[in-house]
Structure 1
């Protein structure tokens, strides 16, 4: 049922299509040899088979190539088997479900409220970030990439709440507390976004996954969105480093 109603429609939506294959024409002699002797006959065997079937050796060789291709699983079959493998390895726990729903709702809320909030200097970057986040959460949930999706959300949440708390303390004019919290936030942000995210998440998504699967549309979509996030991380990291420089020089 999972293959028929989940993996197969998902593959079609993502553009997974089988290549047109030429089937080997029926030939009892060659079929018997293929099944009982060898799928790749040697040159002497090709000559012998060509005499038995009254066919040129080149056509016999072509027949065996077509016949071997028939036994290879199609791209759709491979996609469905990988999808089933992912579904079996990553069951959706109730806690993960609610975590996804909360993060998705929060991302949507931020996207809508930014239009009515005070417009900051990085307004465009924030909108791009929220759009990429919403698409990534949706896609990782639908494709059942729950592990990488949860890890990406966790890395972002680990520093985001500290930034909001730092702003609150700054508005309350609690300078020492806000400065200390900003240093903690900066350390966590730079480590998680510039070290952990590219070295663990991006590396695994770009290269580690290729050890087991072939690239397809979803591979390019997810990695493109992850790279968008990484570019935004670099942009915000430069702002944070600039703030730290001003902080050290006592201009903040």
Structure 2
């Protein structure tokens, strides 16, 4: 048990650590000696006098790499040995996304996902075009090609979110951290950081990480258009060689989505590095399950099926409330705040690390929950448009409301 007397709060420790990393990098390791008013004086318990002991990685159990696996079992490099390492062996370096082995697999998975999308999105959009021809007519299709393209994206996201939701429920529904009778969220930290990373968890994290990286890349690809130009304009004015402009395909909620994707990817990478995959898997499940009715409502709205759109919208609001504004803040986040002390009172992690990273995680999760609240208010506004105007306007895709010439139809 490593307890620190007068340990400062997590955010301050994080600032101290950042300053220390920068000063060490510029060859100024004794930077505290130059601080005024005793801020760096450890004997006087100065505000900035608390150094972190080494690195967090030193407190973590080593996860064997593929090379370690070969040496331990006297195997040769082969497809068979890699299969045993990747799909049959728990607690390997693939379970920590910041290791070289995992980063290679993550890169391969991102490339595979992009190739899958390159192949299936045109086919899914063709399905949307066919359905729109039937329900809206060919003239609407010609003037709404962007919406037809988005139909393919909605269908792809629906299939992904449905698949990972089913997989997550299948793999993790019987785990003790989801069962209050068996300790519930306290299991996120018991025996930390020596909790085994099962093969299912390893690949669940790898696939989720690859999807989120690709989703962030796709968001920026949709939102910006970059073109090269001459450094000197015809007028003689100096200009940047790379000209970046907003794209007409930019989402209406780009700002919220960009913040969400950046925070999500930070949480994915850091939670894996810090062996907090249990927490990460819980957050993944909450988001994936709630994304399914979101995708369904977008598809139904594309078809302008009045009854289906209304049902999907109501389901989306209910699931959003239960998962993103209920389970996430009041079960998962509260569990982190109430039980994080276990990692230093019963584990081997220094209290300063625990406070610093707990504060960082809590802050990022609060930011995500705040975004969920912003989106929920947007859903309320969409519902208001439905009541007042009798039709749905997708404010997430179109900031000023969806412009459509197609009539809203009852389900046939």
Unpaired segments ≥5 residues, structure 2: 1-15, 21-51, 62-190, 223-248, 345-350, 392-412
- 2:192 aligned with 1:86: yes
Shift in Å, 1:128: 0.5
2:250 is matched with 119
Alignment correspondent of 1:150: 281
In structure 2, distance between residues paired with 1:201 and 1:177: 32
Paired positions, count: 181
The structure having more radius of gyration, on CA atoms, is 1
Structure 1 match to 2:374:
235
How far apart are the structure 1 equivalents of 2:321 and 2:283?
A: 15
The equivalences for 1:172-187 within 5 A come to 172-187=303-318
Task: Answer yes or no: is the 8 Å Cα contact 2:290–2:324 preserved in 1.
Answer: no
Give yes or no for contact 2:297–2:312 (8 Å, CA) kept in 1.
yes
1:182 Cα deviation from its structure 2 partner: 1.4
RMSD: 2.8
**1:251, 1:175 → 2: CA distance?**
9
| Greater per-residue helix proportion | 1
Encode CA deviations 1:28-71: one digit per residue, 9 max, x unaligned. Answer: xxxxxxxxxxxxxxxxxxxxxxxxxxxxxxxxxxxxxxxxxxxx
Counterpart for residue 247 of structure 1: 386
Per the alignment, residue 355 of structure 2 pairs with 216
Unaligned runs of 5+ in 1: 1-13, 18-74
Q: Is the 8 A contact 1:140 1:149 kept in 2?
A: yes
Residue 196 of structure 2: SS of its match in structure 1? Answer: coil
Distance 1:107 1:174 in 2: 30
TM superposition shift of 1:172: 1.9
Q: Displacement of 1:82 after TM fit?
A: 7.3
Indicate conservation of the 8 Å contact 1:15/1:217, yes or no. no
CA distance in 2, matches of 1:227, 1:248: 31
Secondary structure, in 3 states, of the residue corresponding to 1:114? helix
1:190 aligns with one of 309, 314, 321:
321
SS of match in other structure, 1:120: coil
TM-score between the two structures when normalised by the length of structure 2: 0.40
CA distance in 1, matches of 2:221, 2:277: 32
Q: Structure 1 residues 186, 92: CA separation in 2 closer, same or farther (over 3 Å shift)?
A: same
**Residue 95 of structure 1 pairs with residue 234 of structure 2:** no
- 1:250: how far off? 5.5
Q: Please state whether the residue corresponding to 1:144 is helix, strand or coil.
A: coil
**SS at structure 1 position matched to 2:193:** helix
Within 5 Å, which residues of 2 pair with 1:5-16?
15=17
